[in-house]
Every structure is written in structure tokens, then in C-alpha cells.
Amino acid sequence: MILSASRRTDIPAFFSEWFFNRLDEGYFLVRNPSFPHKVSRVEVSPEVIDCIVFWTKNPLPMLSRLDRLKGWDYYFQFTLTGYGKDIETHLPDKKKVLIPAFIELSERIGPERVIWRYDPILFNEKYNEEYHIRAFSRIASSLKEHTEKCVISFVDDYNKIRRTLRSLSEAKLSEDRLIDFAGRLCRIAAENGMATATCAEKIDLSSVGIEHNSCIDRSLIERITGGKLMAGKDKAQREQCGCVESIEMGTYNTCSNGCKYCYANFSPESIAANLAGYDPAAPMLCGKLGPDDTVYEKNMRSLLDFRITF
């Protein structure tokens, strides 16, 4: 099984101590966000976890502990955009801190295992097409030879963030302008040795050399592990998502990056309440079992096949 760490929060940035404790203990608990009293107990061991996919905007707190991942297969999705603190409120300086962190991570684990995400892309008077082109070009040139792929997406109009998007005066581009814009990004990425793909986008950008991406990527996992992954499409994700099935270990409303476009945080009050309950030794991230909870043992097994075929 593939372990997602995590679509719901930034584990490398804020909860790496909890994460490594879970590896040491060999299990974690995770609450079902749709049915809050249903809790899964998930085994984590190299025998059943085929690959770990990390999602982060700042891996620095985890970099000094990468040796603790020896014996595990993994890769990172690293989001690095051109937004300022008006959009990504609490992130460290991109040029001084995060780009060097990306480069260090790549040099330690290999460029194929660090995916650059320039997403989600939103447009307004400040962050217009030309702004994004300049920012993307600067970052791409800085990351040259330190990643093989860039993933882009356009901001989604989730109900949870609709009011925030209105406050940012988000502008909509026509499909033709989006295609032209994406083509320009693709050419810049190619000049810096990177392929470009999209994340869960309806729009077809194949005419400008951009294919649909799988963030939890069968081909990359097979490349990293050397086995054939016998996993199906993740039915819990959107129709346009190409990811294979995985198990999620994170908790919504726990990320402190403060990104205005984030769909995983509902309110500052919810974040504060959850973070007040953070215990790095607890089996559940920012939560604990209650008297009405029912714990289900998750059936975990390896989905890799290492048999040689002719």
C-alpha cells in the first residue's frame, strides 16, 4: 500500500517527530473525515508500505532525520510558488530558505524523487500571467538539474475557500489564454530539463506538451521500488485525479503554513483547537479517541509484485 503523508496537512514541516514516532511504533490511527466516529488503525512497516509520498512546502525540519527513512521507499512533492506572504502567509523566504532546501533535498535523495509543484495558480491584478511567467522562470532556473518534473494546476473553486478567493479578486482566464499560458510554462520547464504535467485538471493541455499527472504515480513508484505496482485508481479522489490508491495519515485543519488557497483548513479557530491537542507521542495526529469512536483494523498488504516476467 502507498502511504500519503499527507494531502491534508504538511507533515514534514510541522509533524515530523510524530511521523517518525509512528514508524517506530508500527501503526497510526486516522479518523474518517466523512464519518468522524470511524477510526482506522493502520499498520506501518516496510513489509506492507510500498512507498511513502510526502507533500510539503518546507521539508527543512525533516532533512536532518532522513537517515531514519533508511529501508523505506519514498519521494517528495515540494510546492514552491512565486506568491508572497499575502497568499502564503507563514512560509519562509523562497530565495533564501526554500529553494536551497529543495536543492539540498534533491542532492541527498536524487532529483527523480523530488517533484516540483507550482500550484495552485490563481490570477488577479497582482498575480497576473506575466508575474507567474517571471516567477516560474526564476524558480525553474534555480532548480535546474534538481528535479525532473514540474506539476501545475489552476486554483479550484471549492466552497471552503470561495470567500477567500473573492477577497483576493481572483480573475478567470479563457480556455485559450490558459492553454497559451500553460504552453509558456512548459517551454520554460523544458529549457531547464523538466517535464510538465497537470494535477487533476479538466482542461486538455496535450496540444502544448503537457500531460495529466498522477501525484501518487504508478510509474515513479515502480521506478523507485523496482517492482510492478498492482494498485487501482484512487476512487476517493476527483474524477480527473490519476493517482493510484493510497492510505492517508493526516488530519484536516492542522497546517500552519497559512496559504489562502488551501482547501484542507476550514478556519483559524479549528486549526488552533486541533494544534492545542498535538502530542508527538500519540497514535493519532492532533486528536484522540473518544467514547463514541469505533476503531477498525485496516487491511494492509503490499501491492508490489517483484516477479520477473518475460
- Whole-model pTM: value is 0.94
- Phi then psi dihedrals of residue 40, to 5 deg: -100, 135
Per residue in 267-298, pLDDT tens?
889 999 999 999 999 999 999 999 999 999 99
Per residue in 195-214, pLDDT tens?
999 987 888 899 999 988 88
Per residue in 24-52, pLDDT tens?
999 999 999 999 999 999 999 999 999 99
Cα separation, 174 vs 286, whole angstroms: 41
CA angle 237/242/266 to nearest 5° reads: 35
Per residue in 114-148, pLDDT tens?
999 999 999 999 999 999 999 999 999 999 999 99
> Distance between the two ends of the chain, CA-based, in angstroms?
25
Q: Is 17 exposed, middle or buried (0-12, 13-18, 19+ CB in 10 A)?
A: middle
What is the torsion angle, in degrees rounded to the nearest 10, for the CA atoms of residue 237, residue 117, residue 69 and residue 14?
Answer: -90
Q: Which DSSP symbol is given to 96?
A: I
My answer on whether omega of the bond before 6 falls inside 30° of 0, hence cis, is yes
Per-residue pLDDT band for 310 (boundaries 50, 70, 90) equals very low
- Phi then psi dihedrals of residue 56, to 5 deg: -155, 160
